[in-house]
Structure 1
Amino acid sequence: MRLSRNLASVTVAATLLLCLPYDPVPHARVRSAPPAAGQPAVPEQAAAQPFGAACLIHVNGSHVVAHCHNPYVDTDRVRLHIECARWWDIDTDTSPADAGPAATVRLSGRCWKEVGSAWVSHQRPGN
């Protein structure tokens, strides 16, 4: 009886988490401050253009693979960052790869033991 109550509460919690809304493009660019002195201002048209590749990250043991697809016109320079779970394990960052318009790039890396976290950073070329 006790096991079925615990299983029911876990099932309800998992269902509620799956129903939560989410933003599929969390890296959307939002300007919150004016440019610093000596830096050129970004035109409003360029700031309003969509930017950023959509990346799927797969962790299999100590190996990490990210596939990033850029559906937009502007090139997105992507890098995979891997933080290892063990304090003595070396964290890694891949070299930048340019995801051109309608292109998909593959990034990979690994830890010696377990992977703590992995994420992809995005940058406009020339910045």
Structure 2
Amino acid sequence: MPLSRSLTPVTVAAAVALVLSLPYEATPHAREETPAAEPFGAECRTSVHGSRVTAYCHNAYVGVDRVRLHIECDRWWDLDTDSSPVDTGPAATVRLTGRCWKEVRSAWVSHQER
């Protein structure tokens, strides 16, 4: 008789539970410590007042963070905008601004490590 016909769903579930409960070692050799990533990225605060958007980004870290403001307008005929990238050096604060003709649907800041 073939083996697949002699296994019942209960038997299969018990076998799976047993295999999953066994200790598992993913690597046969000693584990290597991965180096911790250095902190990066400016902290940005974005505010919307009517159709205008302002973002202040402060970089508290050593690396340079290239930030851009992205604005999505609510009306279909109003063009969405992306600001030019601005390099934010260590201990620097930059202001990014933009606007829609009417309402703002969403606004966010993107970061790129330099």
TM-score computed with the length of structure 1 as normaliser: 0.62
Structure with the larger RCO, 1 or 2 (CA within 8 Å, 6+ apart): 2
Q: Which amino acid aligns with 2:92?
A: A
Distance 1:69 1:107 in 2: 11
Map of 1:13-24 to 2, 5 A cutoff?
A: none
1:74 Cα deviation from its structure 2 partner: 0.1
Q: Helix, strand or coil: the match of 1:108?
A: strand
Structure 1 position 117 matched with structure 2 position 106: yes
Kindly provide the amino acid, as one letter, of the partner of residue 85 in structure 1.
Answer: D
Percentage of identical aligned residues: 72
Match of 1:81 in 2: 70
Match of residue 100 from structure 1: 89
TM-score (norm. length: structure 2) = 0.69
Bigger strand share: 2
How many residue pairs get aligned? The number is 81
Q: Deviations over 1:41-81 (max 9, x none)?
A: xxx65x61000000000100000000000000000000000
Structure with higher Rg: it is: 2
Structure 2 gap ranges (5+): 1-33
1:54 aligns with 2:52: no
